[in-house]
């Protein structure tokens, strides 16, 4: 490894029986660095793209340190912390990137470590899949990867578990480093109009809004998944190979169009009593990265649709988490009486994974946050050192509350300060975020009755 | 129905666009004018949606997608606004697994199509979709929460529009008319919803297509779903007036709704098998046929072995199917047992008759029609089969004014008469016979090739046997 004193990681290969992971060179450097630095066991996540033929790992990121547990840090692994980290990280991954598994750097006996890793991948997968509103496909890869690196010997053991099979045993897998793994990956993107309106139950509390919105999101996600996808203006047969993927260093970008239609099924209840309604309206930018190993149109479509669903669901979830905190704090002092409030969903911001080409990760920025919060989260969650100028903020414009024509009746406008306590990020960024609280703009319309 | 031999030079392509549109709104008030206002405003949003650039029409079973409001932009590239509608057909993949029987039937019907004043040569199905993607960058979504005890109105509008295009019409022409039709249908749906709103009860609008006599052709009407035909007579009367239709024939009952050629009947019975036949040519002859639609009922159907005794029952079923499909009755076609029970109920037969294998005749057919459908029938008695040749005028008249299938029975086998070809000058006559004694499968080719449905001469009848004809009289309603 040029310019570094890291000794290369030594991988045990077990033939071609199991899955084969093509791993970005930088991951080797990152793991080696962690081997040098940390005294105790280090856990972290492996991020990349799986496909039926081949799996690609493009980055690794260590679990952030949990301050309160520092003292007890010894040799034990904080499962809850690792899974929470995975949940946060998976929100920051655009289409085509996902948490593929877990690594651990420890000199503990390989057998014991495997048990720990097994527990970790199952816990991570369980938590992440809870957040998925899309329906899994038959060709989804259900194997998760685990990597054990011994910091002294630098011996690396790669195993996979089928996380959909609770009894699955560890299977050996190939772990091979290569440079520029994702340098010629394609990108497919779109801007998509979201227009959702759901009723609230008659006894509307904050928790009911969560349920209603989640139900609404599920229906909407189904429309998206069953919609037709055009790539660069054309409807391609599913098995069409995306062209140009083979050309090295020629990065392909595609624009997608989604055509949707509601279900033909008629709703049984035409008129129902409700305690109000919630709408989500606006435009999101969605994108997916597609590996360069002869990808099919079907794959690109699947990955993009999942990103569309995830980016909306994630943002709604983030906002709900905010509201929950602020409403718990106000402890019901704010009465919900005939009022209309508006909240901006956070804006999506991208940041290139510098090491190797075009692939970006993303973050969501609330309107009251600055870019430094974004770079801090990138550092904490993904261990990415990004400067503010590295951020790509051009895909979505800043959110703005537009006063809607709410009702024909005369309305009185009042601005209400919602004081959200942001606790959806763990660790340092969380502490900073809490200190840097600002008010989420909200508008309140009181009916002048 | 008089069928003239005048040729229809135009061939039509029907474009039918279907697709659900979601209608959702919060009804803050129970005040009727305010509710109307909110619903109308929501319809206004849908109106602008179908007129927006997001509106997309996809041609079913093809890669063709058209943006009617984006300068009739289309994909694949070969399709331009000036492409002829009928040329879309070549992009549509036909399902080769379709039963060969149906296939040959279609070919045949095309061959003899010229005798009908309106024949749908082909139908292109389109799906109404909305493009969710747009051009950015734009601000991320706003979540708006309104807390207010109220009502939430949510339904799916089953949009269904048809237009008919001729061979010179381009996609551009068609798109303009389709968008107009969609917009018009939304107006109609809005009217129906507002008209039938009672308190907090709202009815879903239901669009139906009806095929009217030329030159009107296909007409779409929106009814409130769930309201029975019996309560919609006022609407029908208005429609009859609007389309200048006679007030003694139902055109707009739900059962009259047009059945598109590409939609197979689910019940499995053949409809109007006689349509594929070629009419006999008689000097100065005219053809007088059953009007409307019937289904062909014959031996061995419905898992019922009635071979040798059920022919009159089957002929009666064919008649009942006519009354059902013309909308005169909502009663389904009666089974053998139900027919027998009806005869017991009117006191015509003993209880033991139910479940038996006894024959029935024209008089019983008349009684059952009266009992089950409240339809009266004329009985025509012929003491000798040879006399039937002289009944041309009466039969021709029956098909002209009543248009119902006729059951003929008596001393021998029962048959159904579907029409006559008759020359007023020479008195020559041919009978269009539907034979209930057929025991095979619903294979149109076999049925028409072997004469189970076919034109017969006067010698078809047993010259010495007596015959009773039951001529059902249709109620004069709309």
Domains of chain A and any CATH numbers: 10-178 (3.40.140.10), 186-345+399-448 (no CATH)
Q: Does residue B297 have an active-site annotation? A: no
* Closest Cβ opposite residue A278 in set B21, B37, B145: B145
Tell me which of B435, B443, B453, B470 is the catalytic residue. Answer: B435
Cα–Cα distance for residue pair B127/B17, rounded to 1 Å:
5
Cα–Cα distance for residue pair B476/B469, rounded to 1 Å:
21
Give the pLDDT band (50/70/90) at residue A11.
low
In terms of C-beta density within 10 A (0-12 exposed, 13-18 middle, 19 or more buried), how is residue A2 classed? exposed
User: pLDDT tens digits for A236-292?
Assistant: 888 888 865 455 556 689 999 999 998 776 566 688 899 999 999 999 999 999 988
Q: Does A365 touch chain B (CB under 8 A)?
A: no
Q: Cα B46 from chain centroid?
A: 30
Distance from CA of B134 to the nearest CA of A (A): 5
- What is the interface pTM, i.e. ipTM, of the complex? 0.84
Cα–Cα distance for residue pair B195/A135, rounded to 1 Å:
41
The count of C-alpha atoms lying within 13 angstroms of the C-alpha of A167, restricted to the half-sphere facing its C-beta, is 0
Structural element, H or E, at residue B56: strand B55-59
Q: Quick count: other Cβ atoms within 10 Å of Cβ B403?
A: 19
Give the pLDDT band (50/70/90) at residue A402.
low
Q: Does residue B209 have an active-site annotation? A: no
pLDDT given at position A434: 32
Structural element, H or E, at residue B444: helix B444-449
Contacts of A294 (CB under 8 A, 6+ apart): A241, A245, A246
Pairing between β-strand A143-149 and β-strand A98-105 as defined by DSSP bridges = parallel
Cis link prior to B349 (omega < 30° from 0)? no
> Taking Cα atoms as reference points, which of B113, B110, B59, B48 lies closest to residue B86?
B59
Model confidence at A206: pLDDT above 70: no
User: pLDDT tens digits for A127-148?
Assistant: 999 888 888 888 899 999 999 9
Return the bridge partners of B206, or none. Answer: B223
Distance from CA of B124 to the nearest CA of A (A): 19
Query: Which chain A residues are within 8 Å of B150, Cβ to Cβ?
Result: 273-274, 276
Pairing between β-strand B377-382 and β-strand B467-472 as defined by DSSP bridges = antiparallel
pLDDT given at position A292: 84
Q: What integer is the mean pLDDT of A80-97?
A: 95
DSSP state string for B372-436: HH---EEEEEESSGGGGGGGHHHHHHHHHHT---EEEEESS--EEEEEEEEETTT--EEEEEE-T
pLDDT given at position B102: 40
Identify the CATH number of the domain defined by range B285-472: 3.90.70.130
Name residues 152-171 of chain A within 8 A of B (Cβ). Answer: none
* Closest Cβ opposite residue A260 in set B129, B141, B145: B129
Question: Distances from the Cα of A312 to the Cαs of A133, A216, A279, B401, in angstroms?
Answer: 10, 12, 13, 65
Q: What integer is the mean pLDDT of A170-193?
A: 93
Helix (H, G, I), strand (E, B) or coil at A59: strand
Residue B328 sits at the vertex; the CA angle it makes with B325 and B329, to the nearest 5 degrees, is 85
Q: State pTM to two decimals.
A: 0.83
> Taking Cα atoms as reference points, which of A238, A309, A256 lies closest to residue A95?
A309
Structural element, H or E, at residue A222: helix A206-226
In chain A, count of helices (H) and strands (E)? 7, 18
Contact pairs from chain A to chain B, CB under 8 Å: 215
> Taking Cα atoms as reference points, which of A98, A58, A102 lies closest to residue A82?
A102
Q: Does residue B187 have an active-site annotation? A: no
Find the residue in A nearest to B59 (Cα): A235
Cα–Cα distance for residue pair B404/B326, rounded to 1 Å:
10
Calculate the average pLDDT of chain A. Answer: 81
Cα–Cα distance for residue pair A307/A93, rounded to 1 Å:
9
Cα–Cα distance for residue pair A219/A309, rounded to 1 Å:
11
Contacts of B116 (CB under 8 A, 6+ apart): B3, B8, B275
Q: Quick count: other Cβ atoms within 10 Å of Cβ B132?
A: 24
Q: What integer is the mean pLDDT of A183-204?
A: 91
> Taking Cα atoms as reference points, which of A388, A291, A320 lies closest to residue A57?
A291
Tell me which of B161, B311, B453, B470 is the catalytic residue. Answer: B311
Cα–Cα distance for residue pair B129/A401, rounded to 1 Å:
29
Going from the first residue of chain B to its last (478 residues), give the mean pLDDT of each consecutive group of 10, the final group possibly shorter: 41 90 90 92 97 96 94 93 90 62 39 41 90 93 91 93 90 96 97 90 92 88 92 94 90 92 86 94 92 95 92 96 93 95 93 93 94 95 91 94 94 90 93 95 94 94 92 93
User: pLDDT tens digits for A16-44?
Assistant: 468 999 999 999 999 999 999 867 889 99
Distance from CA of A193 to the nearest CA of B (A): 5
Cα–Cα distance for residue pair A129/A138, rounded to 1 Å:
15
Model confidence at A6: pLDDT above 70: no
Cα–Cα distance for residue pair B166/A29, rounded to 1 Å:
70
Asked if A266 lies within 8 A of B155 by C-beta distance, the reply is: yes
Query: Which chain A residues are within 8 Å of B79, Cβ to Cβ?
Result: none
Cα torsion angle, B258, B262, B266, B269, sign? positive
What backbone torsions phi and psi does residue B37 show, to the nearest 5 degrees? -65, -45
Model confidence at A430: pLDDT above 90: no
Buried b (16+ CB within 10 A) or exposed e, A129-147: eeeebbeeeeeebebbbbb
Q: What integer is the mean pLDDT of A293-306?
A: 93
pLDDT given at position A355: 53
Whether residue B395 contacts residue B288, with contact meaning beta carbons closer than 8 Å, is answered with yes
Asked if A342 lies within 8 A of B144 by C-beta distance, the reply is: yes
Contacts of B88 (CB under 8 A, 6+ apart): B59, B62, B64, B79, B124, B171
Give the pLDDT band (50/70/90) at residue A76.
confident
Query: Which chain B residues are within 8 Å of A233, Cβ to Cβ?
Result: 75
pLDDT given at position B136: 84
* Closest Cβ opposite residue A277 in set B20, B128, B152: B152
Find the residue in B nearest to A201 (Cα): B149
Question: Can you list the alpha helix ranges (DSSP code H) found in B261-415?
Answer: 311-325, 336-345, 362-373, 392-401
Cα–Cα distance for residue pair A185/A245, rounded to 1 Å:
7
Question: Distances from the Cα of B144 to the Cαs of A213, A280, A333, A346, B152, in angstroms?
Answer: 11, 6, 20, 14, 15
User: pLDDT tens digits for B372-404?
Assistant: 999 999 999 999 988 999 999 999 999 999 999
Cis link prior to B299 (omega < 30° from 0)? no
Cα torsion angle, B328, B331, B334, B337, sign? negative
Query: Which chain A residues are within 8 Å of B227, Cβ to Cβ?
Result: none
> Taking Cα atoms as reference points, which of B391, B101, B135 lies closest to residue B264?
B101
Give the residue extent of every domain in chain B.
Answer: 13-256, 285-472
Asked if B154 lies within 8 A of A408 by C-beta distance, the reply is: no
Model confidence at A68: pLDDT above 80: no
Query: Which chain B residues are within 8 Å of A339, Cβ to Cβ?
Result: 146-148
User: pLDDT tens digits for A208-239?
Assistant: 788 899 999 999 999 999 999 999 999 988 88
Q: Cα B445 from chain centroid?
A: 22
DSSP state string for B181-250: HHHHHHHHHHHHHHHT-BTTB---EEEEEEEETTTTEEEEEEEETT--GGGGHHHHHHHHHHTT--TTS-
């Amino acid at each position: 490894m040029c310019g570094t004193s890291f000794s290369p990681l030594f991988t045990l290969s077990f033939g071609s029986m199991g899955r084969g992971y093509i791993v970005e060179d930088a991951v080797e450097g990152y793991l080696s660095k962690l081997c040098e630095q940390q005294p105790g066991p280090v856990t972290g996540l492996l991020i990349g793209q799986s496909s039926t033929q081949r799996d690609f790992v493009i980055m690794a990121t260590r679990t952030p340190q949990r301050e309160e547990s520092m003292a007890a840090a010894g040799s034990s692994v904080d499962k809850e912390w690792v899974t929470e980290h995975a949940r946060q990280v998976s929100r920051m991954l655009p289409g085509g990137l996902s948490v593929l598994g877990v690594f651990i750097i420890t000199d503990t006996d390989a057998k014991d470590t495997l048990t720990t890793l097994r527990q970790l991948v199952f816990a991570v997968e369980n938590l992440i899949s809870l957040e998925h509103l899309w329906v899994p496909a038959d060709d989804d890869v259900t194997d998760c990867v685990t990597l054990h690196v011994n910091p002294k010997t630098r011996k690396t053991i790669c195993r996979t578990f089928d996380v959909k099979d609770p009894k699955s045993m560890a299977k050996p897998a190939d772990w091979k480093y290569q440079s520029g793994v994702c340098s010629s990956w394609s990108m497919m993107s779109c801007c998509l109009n979201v227009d959702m309106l759901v009723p609230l139950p008659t006894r509307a509390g904050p928790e009911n809004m969560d349920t209603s919105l989640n139900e609404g999101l599920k229906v909407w996600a189904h429309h998206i998944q069953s919609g037709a996808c055009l790539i660069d203006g054309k409807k391609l047969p599913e098995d069409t190979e995306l062209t140009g993927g083979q050309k090295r260093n020629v990065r392909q970008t595609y624009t997608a169009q989604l055509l949707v239609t509601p279900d033909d099924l008629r709703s049984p209840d035409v008129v129902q009593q409700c305690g109000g309604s919630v709408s989500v309206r606006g435009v999101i930018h969605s994108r997916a990265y597609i590996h360069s190993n002869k990808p099919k149109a079907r794959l690109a479509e699947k990955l993009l649709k999942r990103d569309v669903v995830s980016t909306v669901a994630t943002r709604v979830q983030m906002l709900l988490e905010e509201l929950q905190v602020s409403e718990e704090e106000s402890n019901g002092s704010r009465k919900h009486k005939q009022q209309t409030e508006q909240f901006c969903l956070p804006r999506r911001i991208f940041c290139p994974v510098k090491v190797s080409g075009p692939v970006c990760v993303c973050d969501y920025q609330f309107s009251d946050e600055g870019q430094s919060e974004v770079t801090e989260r990138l550092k904490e969650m993904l261990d990415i050192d990004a400067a503010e100028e590295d951020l790509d903020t051009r895909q979505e414009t800043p959110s703005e509350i537009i006063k809607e024509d709410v009702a024909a009746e005369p309305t009185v406008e009042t601005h209400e300060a919602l004081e959200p306590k942001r606790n959806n990020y763990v660790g340092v960024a969380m502490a900073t975020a809490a200190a840097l609280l600002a008010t989420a703009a909200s508008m309140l319309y009181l009916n002048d009755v | 129905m008089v069928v003239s031999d005048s040729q229809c030079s135009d061939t039509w392509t029907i474009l039918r666009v279907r697709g659900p549109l979601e209608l959702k709104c919060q009804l803050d008030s129970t005040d009727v004018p305010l509710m109307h206002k909110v619903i109308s405003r929501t319809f206004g949003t849908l109106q602008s949606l179908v007129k927006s650039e997001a509106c997309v029409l996809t041609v079913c079973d093809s890669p063709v997608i058209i943006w009617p409001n984006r300068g009739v932009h289309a994909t694949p590239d070969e399709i331009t606004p000036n492409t002829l509608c009928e040329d879309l057909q070549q992009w549509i993949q036909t399902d080769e697994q379709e039963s060969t029987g149906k296939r040959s039937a279609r070919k045949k019907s095309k061959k003899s199509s010229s005798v009908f004043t309106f024949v749908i040569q082909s139908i292109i199905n389109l799906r109404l979709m909305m493009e969710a993607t747009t051009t950015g960058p734009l601000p991320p979504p706003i979540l708006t929460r309104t807390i207010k005890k109220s009502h939430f109105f949510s339904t799916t509008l089953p949009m269904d529009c048809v237009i008919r295009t001729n061979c010179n019409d381009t996609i551009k022409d068609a798109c303009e008319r389709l968008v107009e039709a969609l917009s018009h249908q939304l107006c109609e749906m809005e009217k129906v919803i507002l008209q039938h709103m009672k308190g907090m009860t709202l009815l879903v609008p239901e669009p139906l297509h009806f095929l009217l006599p030329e030159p009107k052709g296909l007409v779409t009407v929106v009814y409130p779903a769930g309201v029975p035909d019996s309560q919609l007579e006022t609407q029908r009367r208005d429609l009859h007036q609007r389309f200048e239709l006679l007030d003694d024939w139902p055109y707009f009952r739900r059962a009259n709704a047009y059945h598109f050629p590409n939609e197979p009947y689910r019940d499995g019975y053949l409809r109007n098998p006689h349509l594929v036949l070629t009419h006999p040519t008689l000097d100065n002859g005219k053809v007088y046929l059953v009007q409307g639609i019937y289904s062909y009922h014959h031996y061995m159907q419905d898992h019922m072995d009635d071979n040798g005794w059920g022919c009159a029952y089957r002929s009666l079923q064919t008649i009942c199917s006519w009354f059902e499909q013309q909308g005169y009755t909502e009663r389904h076609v009666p089974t053998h047992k139900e027919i027998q029970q009806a005869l017991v109920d009117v006191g015509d037969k003993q209880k033991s008759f139910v479940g038996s294998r006894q024959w029935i005749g024209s008089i019983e057919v008349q009684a059952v029609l009266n009992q089950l459908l409240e339809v009266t029938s004329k009985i025509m008695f012929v003491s000798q089969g040879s006399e039937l040749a002289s009944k041309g005028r009466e039969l021709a008249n029956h098909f002209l004014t009543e248009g119902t299938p006729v059951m003929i029975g008596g001393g021998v086998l029962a048959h159904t008469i579907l029409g006559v070809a008759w020359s007023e000058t020479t008195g020559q006559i041919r009978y269009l016979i539907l034979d209930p004694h057929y025991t095979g499968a619903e294979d149109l080719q076999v049925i028409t090739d072997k004469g189970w449905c076919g034109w017969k001469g006067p010698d078809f009848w047993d010259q010495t046997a007596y015959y009773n004809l039951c001529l059902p009289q249709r109620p004069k309603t709309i």
